[in-house]
Chains A and B, each alone.
Chain A
Amino acid sequence: MNSTLDKFFGGKQGGIGLLILAALLLLVFPLLLDSFRLNMVGKYLTYAFVAVGLVLCWGYGGILSLGQGIFFGLGGYCMAMFLKLEASDPESTKIQSTPGIPDFMDWNQITELPLFWQPFQSFGFTLLAVVAVPAILALIIGMAMFKRRVGDVYFSIVTQAIAAILTILIIGQQGLTGGVNGITDLKTLLGWDIRTDEAKTILYFVNAALLIGCILIGRFILASKLGRLLMAMRDKEERVRFSGYDVASFKIFVFCVAASFSAIGGAMFTLQVGFMSPSFVGIVPSIEMVIFAAVGGRMSLLGAVYGALLVNYGKTVFSESFPELWLYFMGGLFIAVVMYFPNGLAGLWQSHARPWLARLRLPDRRQPSMKPKPPAEQAGVGGATIDAVPAKQLESTP
């Protein structure tokens, strides 16, 4: 039992890090920020889901997906479809030529709810679809790519292409998807008005709790043998293959998990922001999401959350004063991270802040950490290294 807990919390150090994050998200932000700002933080945190997923599949799995917007968008659209159907009851749409269908369908001369929209009348199905639809797409992409040993940059390019295709598809099928405007004018969730300040605060907490849940799942995966296999695969894929493992299946798994996490973020985005549009699906948002993970630290689940928060905060502040410069700044930031601090903020914390803190402590409290640990303790080693990865590890990553 104890070791299972360890797996989730990543030992003492990981537990403290998680507690600080939880306190920040669940206490500090709600107490200090007004409802508008809190909602904004909630929006940033939806991107953190994607960044956490990227830590798993990019940081540890070595799979750089430049198309996580696909999954963020799919999750968001699934939720938006449900909310839109609820907002389009015959009463409030009675001025349409076909009452009871979403307004954009009516504008596009569609007279009947399309077949693939119908299951989204059920909330249970929607919740399932939010996680399952992106996971199934990731499974298909993963099977097609990893089984054929397509990897590295080729995989990244293909994910970009899929993101572009999906955007074009959504925009082109205006009558089915709401086109370039997306699905807007969402009002209630099972009769509960999601536009009020109170609802937004509650959704913020749901969002933060789900994010922490995803981090815990991520920790469990990384602390398991599967986590060590991912690291082993990044180092010597052939050795893993010729040790009796089907390498592709592990890549597919971690890619699917990352997709599901992104989709939960997308669904929470729709709920908190009140709409979903193709501008969150395409190439640019997908790359932005990679930058969040890179800035936060691609080897750190917690770092990814801070990365998403900081970059988005910077984006909001910066783009208000220098809207046209923001993209260049973002690009510069990415280059700087890759070149000078490949482990991101978490890496800087590990290499600079932590030793500095340790020096402040009394000498007798310094624990000799070089001592070999007994195997039982070693079981948590994967967990302990989640947020404590030596810089060396990244150098060996392509």
Chain B
Amino acid sequence: MSGFQMPKPVLAIEGLTVSFDGFKAVDDLNLYLDRNEVRVVIGPNGAGKTTVLDLICGKTRATGGSIQFDGRELTKMKEFDIVRAGVGRKFQNPSIYENLSVFENLEMSYPAGRKVFGALFFKRSAEVIARVEEIAAEIGLSEQLYSEAGLLSHGQKQWLEIGMLLMQDPELLMLDEPVAGMSVSERAQTAELLKRISQGRSVLVIEHDMEFVKSIAHKVTVLHQGKVLAEGSMEAVQSNPKVIEVYLGH
């Protein structure tokens, strides 16, 4: 052993670039996420926040650069392989199966029976039921377990989608505006939920709500025009004149 070794980041984004018809939505981006870290990405509209999540989970393909997750290169992997590698992603609009019950929604994300014949002969074992009930309790939907998911309130749908991700027990959890459209008390509950579920995993959050960001973020990254404008603690970022100019000042 020679010298001090930095802990290896769980996610290392280097030189990431994507251009849509010449417009660079993400431009030579570098971002490192440590294990067990809660990172919030903020920035004005069109800064490329959602695109970064799209690139990590494989929805959009990078034009250049690399995304290393636990030593695996994600830019070339298929979407479902990225999920299986341990990356979970929540979409901006609650994305749940409206016609299925809350139970079935959660069960869908249970990491077994993911292939055709596995799904055909998948058995709802006691283990699966216990896991679903555990997650439902975590997201506060134990009461609604057997009601149709389409009947949930907006906030409950957001929690359900987070619960669906938890079923997969991902190493990296990515949330796109998890508290958008939520009431004040729902926001507080969501913040509590995030603090609980970020134990033992890394979380990458996009959010606009500054109160919420303050309550959960270990570190904040400000994106602007596809590049990192500033990075650091919430206080440091908030007092950064460049950040105030392009984002917070408005």
A224 partner, pick from B98, B101, B119, beta carbons under 8 A: B119
1/0 per position for A217-238, CB-CB distance to B under 8 A? 0001100111011011001101
B113 near A225: Cβ-Cβ < 8 Å: yes
Interface-facing stretch out of A100-108, A121-129, A375-383: A375-383
Interface-facing stretch out of A198-206, A242-250, A264-272, A287-295: A242-250
B120 near A221: Cβ-Cβ < 8 Å: yes
If A225-B119, A236-B97 touch, whether A242 touches B89 (CB-CB below 8 Å) is yes
A378 near B103: Cβ-Cβ < 8 Å: yes
Q: How far apart are the CA atoms of A240 and B99 in the complex, in Å?
A: 14
If A231-B97, A396-B98 touch, whether A244 touches B111 (CB-CB below 8 Å) is yes
Q: How many residues of B contact A (CB 8 A)?
A: 41
B99 near A243: Cβ-Cβ < 8 Å: no
Q: How far apart are the CA atoms of A231 and B96 in the complex, in Å?
A: 12
A253 on interface, CB distance cutoff 8 Å: yes
B218 on interface, CB distance cutoff 8 Å: no
Closest to A379 in B: B124
Which residues of the other chain, B, contact A393 by a CB distance below 8 angstroms? 99
Q: How large is the interface on A (under 10, 10 to 19, 20 to 34, 35 or more residues)?
A: 20 to 34
Interface-facing stretch out of B22-30, B75-83, B178-186, B197-205: B75-83
Closest to A250 in B: B116
A375 partner, pick from B109, B129, B161, B164, beta carbons under 8 A: B129
A229 partner, pick from B101, B108, B132, beta carbons under 8 A: B108
A232 partner, pick from B84, B108, B124, beta carbons under 8 A: B108
Q: How far apart are the CA atoms of A231 and B115 in the complex, in Å?
A: 16
B95 near A375: Cβ-Cβ < 8 Å: no
Which residues of the other chain, A, contact B150 by a CB distance below 8 angstroms? 392
B95 near A378: Cβ-Cβ < 8 Å: no
Q: How far apart are the CA atoms of A228 and B105 in the complex, in Å?
A: 9
B14 on interface, CB distance cutoff 8 Å: no
Which residues of the other chain, B, contact A244 by a CB distance below 8 angstroms? 80, 83-84, 109, 111, 114, 168
A238 near B91: Cβ-Cβ < 8 Å: yes
A242 near B59: Cβ-Cβ < 8 Å: yes
A373 on interface, CB distance cutoff 8 Å: yes
Query: How near does chain B come to A149, taking the closest CB pair, in angstroms?
Result: 11
Which residues of the other chain, A, contact B161 by a CB distance below 8 angstroms? 239
Which A18-51 residues have C-beta < 8 A from chain B? none
B146 near A373: Cβ-Cβ < 8 Å: yes
Which residues of the other chain, B, contact A250 by a CB distance below 8 angstroms? 116, 119
B100 on interface, CB distance cutoff 8 Å: yes
Query: How near does chain A come to B205, taking the closest CB pair, in angstroms?
Result: 17
B97 near A235: Cβ-Cβ < 8 Å: yes
Which residues of the other chain, B, contact A228 by a CB distance below 8 angstroms? 100, 104, 107-108
B20 on interface, CB distance cutoff 8 Å: no
Which residues of the other chain, B, contact A379 by a CB distance below 8 angstroms? 124
Which residues of the other chain, A, contact B89 by a CB distance below 8 angstroms? 242
B47 on interface, CB distance cutoff 8 Å: no
Q: How far apart are the CA atoms of A239 and B91 in the complex, in Å?
A: 8
A398 on interface, CB distance cutoff 8 Å: no
B115 near A240: Cβ-Cβ < 8 Å: no
A372 on interface, CB distance cutoff 8 Å: yes
B145 partner, pick from A231, A243, A372, beta carbons under 8 A: A372
A235 near B122: Cβ-Cβ < 8 Å: no
Which residues of the other chain, A, contact B4 by a CB distance below 8 angstroms? none
Query: How near does chain A come to B165, taking the closest CB pair, in angstroms?
Result: 8
Which residues of the other chain, A, contact B122 by a CB distance below 8 angstroms? 224-226
Which residues of the other chain, A, contact B96 by a CB distance below 8 angstroms? 236, 239
Which residues of the other chain, B, contact A224 by a CB distance below 8 angstroms? 119-122
Q: How far apart are the CA atoms of A239 and B79 in the complex, in Å?
A: 11
Which residues of the other chain, A, contact B145 by a CB distance below 8 angstroms? 372
Q: How far apart are the CA atoms of A195 and B109 in the complex, in Å?
A: 54
B57 on interface, CB distance cutoff 8 Å: yes
B100 near A245: Cβ-Cβ < 8 Å: no
A241 on interface, CB distance cutoff 8 Å: yes
Which residues of the other chain, A, contact B59 by a CB distance below 8 angstroms? 238, 242
Closest to B58 in A: A242
Q: How far apart are the CA atoms of A228 and B107 in the complex, in Å?
A: 10
Closest to A230 in B: B119
Closest to A242 in B: B89
Could you list 23 A-B pairs, sorted by A, with CB under 8 Å?
Answer: A220-B120, A221-B120, A224-B119, A224-B120, A228-B108, A231-B97, A231-B99, A232-B108, A235-B97, A235-B99, A239-B96, A239-B97, A240-B108, A242-B79, A244-B109, A245-B80, A246-B115, A372-B145, A372-B146, A375-B129, A378-B104, A392-B99, A392-B150
User: Can you add 10 more A-B contacts, CB < 8 Å, to A220-B120, A238-B91, A242-B57?
Assistant: A225-B122, A226-B122, A229-B108, A229-B119, A239-B161, A244-B114, A246-B80, A246-B115, A250-B116, A378-B103
A binding-site residues for B, Cβ under 8 Å: 220-221, 224-226, 228-229, 231-232, 235-236, 238-247, 249-250, 253, 372-373, 375, 378-379, 381, 392-393, 396
B binding-site residues for A, Cβ under 8 Å: 57, 59, 78-80, 83-84, 88-89, 91, 95-101, 103-104, 107-109, 111, 113-116, 119-122, 124, 129, 132, 145-147, 150, 161, 164, 168
